[in-house]
Structure 1
Amino acid sequence: MDGLEEEVEGEVSDPRRRFAEECRDRRELYPDRRLNQGQLARMLRTSRATVSRLETCRGSIPPDLPPLLDQVFSTDGLFKRLYEEIVAQSFPAQYRRGVALEREAIVVRQWSPTVVPGLLQTADYARTLLRGGAPRASEEEIKANVSARLARQDILRREAPPDVRVVLCESVIRRQIGSRDIMRGQLAALLTHGAKAAVRIQVLPLDAEAHLFIAGGARFLTGPNHMTVVCVEAYRTVAIIEDPEHVREALRAYDGLTGEALPTRESARLIRGQMEALT
């Protein structure tokens, strides 16, 4: 799901319809006076056409609008919650549970041997990956897929974000995805993310020993109940491992990766050096 596999489904989901209906109803029943689309657009600092698309389920929802709608209509997070449901359902069915678990996680651990994980991708980097995975997709489809992927990053902007622990194979930062400018921007974003208190990024050197996950990536999602599941993804498939013994084995392997990986400061220096080499 972090590389080439994402694909937004064409069918409008129920949360999307409810989002549209709530927006229209609350606009028309606004206290004191009924708002038209233009008036609401001015309150949201957007265009009337955007409000029209929101209310007719056309196109993707700009991620900055749900909290503004909650503010304008005093809806205590209703539009934000609906938006999160829409994002989760915009992924193919096999990925939805993983997205939902990620949204609720208090700890996200990830090992990535090939690309920067979706939680840390820039729009340009994500667009390049998605375009490579779907060369026949329209620009509108690619735009929607990019928006869905970037919306996953909303969890990092919460007042209490999850702890995020990422180990990247050194090849991830050395493999140029897209132009030099795109890759340089992605490496700069990694440094910005890595400077946050809740995020730790480590790089596993190319000469590291073989390990359990050498053939593919894995995400470890720990929920509010402190139970952890492991998501292992391949081409258009995802397996969610919940068996406690297998989860413990996977976590031990991940702990081994963090021990073999460069410390965070050395990892940041390596990332910065690769970024500067692209100037």
Structure 2
Amino acid sequence: MTERHGVYGAAGDPREKFGDALRDARKTRKAGRISQTDLGRLSRTSKSTISRIEGGVPPIAGNLPALFDQIFETDGQFKRLYEDVVDQSYPAQYRRRMTLERQATAILEWSPTLIPGLFQTAEYARALFRCGYRRATEENIAKMVRARLARQEVLRSEAPPTVRVVVCESVIRRRIGSHDMMREQLAVLLGHGERPTTRVQVMPLDAEPHPLTDGAITLLTAPNHATTLCVEAYRTANISDDPDNVRAAVRAYDDLSSEALSARESAALIRKQMETL
């Protein structure tokens, strides 16, 4: 595998590793060497896209790693390399959280301010990034949106995690972007709530105060049953494995979800809000 120092990253950059692996796979394919043109045809893309990926130039479409693994019979190699690419796109303080989220068998989340990232549409995410990063270029915004959407692949895996989400009623009432954009976002939220592995609840505005009133948390349970607590604030993320902190957070989340509207009542409230947009 070759090493290059290009404009998009130094040697060892995950994008360059992905590109090198793709080039090597083309040249050493079991069924015979394959050209960029032929690979573009087999992966339903183009020669120029294959050339760009091999050169370490972003982006890499989220559907391509699985297709490459299928074409080259590489048993998930490109999927794993792509996960490294996605992780690298996040600031350092978020990377461990992204890894834990991808490996989780259960995700419990409380969001008092925004639609959780796992459920955000591209337009909703784009509106948030434009507001939060006013000096960012459109290219940078697009990169952040792609990274946000790439997180959602975990929900489309063969064995998706159990996901339980509680959002404050203010989240569904706060309009982000246009009326149509917000209506589409709420429709997507409803759709996720209908999945057998996902439950979406709304905490009504007139609910009593609870221990998690002042901030968002996520509880991520790994295959070994260990649970990690993630607490996010403005451009920061804190992760705790401390058993006492985790147990207290689990108890608080259980109390929270028991006070929230049921999944059916929550869906009805979301639909009602959609009608007002």
- Pairwise same-fold verdict (TM > 0.5): yes
1:50-199 paired onto structure 2 within 5 Å: 50-199=49-198
CA distance in 1, matches of 2:226, 2:126: 33
| Residue of structure 2 equivalent to 1:3 | none
Counterpart code for 2:251: R
CA distance in 2, matches of 1:209, 1:60: 46
Does the 8 Å CA contact 2:127/2:177 hold for their aligned counterparts?
Answer: yes
Counterpart code for 1:118: G
Does the 8 Å CA contact 2:9/2:16 hold for their aligned counterparts?
Answer: no
1:237-276 paired onto structure 2 within 5 Å: 237-276=236-275
Q: CA deviation at 1:31?
A: 4.0
Q: Which moved more, 1:34-43 or 1:224-233?
A: 34-43
Q: CA deviation at 1:34?
A: 2.9
Counterpart code for 2:209: A
Q: Which has the higher contact order (CA 8 A, sep 6+)?
A: 1
Q: CA deviation at 1:29?
A: 2.6
Deviations 1:2-58 (A, max 9, x none): xxxxxxxx7466332221111011112334543221111011110112111110111
CA distance in 1, matches of 2:120, 2:126: 10
Q: Is 1:231 matched with 2:222? A: no
| Residue of structure 2 equivalent to 1:14 | 13
Deviations 1:133-159 (A, max 9, x none): 112211111111101011101110111
Q: CA deviation at 1:237?
A: 1.3
Percent identity between matched residues is 57
| Residue of structure 2 equivalent to 1:220 | 219
Q: CA deviation at 1:125?
A: 0.5
Counterpart code for 1:167: V
| Residue of structure 1 equivalent to 2:4 | none
| Residue of structure 2 equivalent to 1:5 | none
Does the 8 Å CA contact 2:18/2:82 hold for their aligned counterparts?
Answer: yes
| Residue of structure 1 equivalent to 2:3 | none
CA distance in 1, matches of 2:41, 2:147: 25
What is the number of equivalent residue pairs in this alignment? 269
Counterpart code for 1:193: H
CA distance in 1, matches of 2:226, 2:168: 26
Does the 8 Å CA contact 2:112/2:215 hold for their aligned counterparts?
Answer: yes
**In structure 1, the residue corresponding to 2:209 is in which secondary structure?**
coil
| Residue of structure 1 equivalent to 2:5 | none
Runs of 4+ in 1 over 4 A off after TM superposition: 10-13
Counterpart code for 2:136: A
| Residue of structure 2 equivalent to 1:203 | 202
Q: Normalization by structure 1: what TM-score? A: 0.93
- Structure 1 gaps, min length 5: 1-9
Q: CA deviation at 1:72?
A: 0.8
Does the 8 Å CA contact 2:129/2:144 hold for their aligned counterparts?
Answer: yes
Q: Normalization by structure 2: what TM-score? A: 0.94
CA distance in 2, matches of 1:45, 1:124: 25
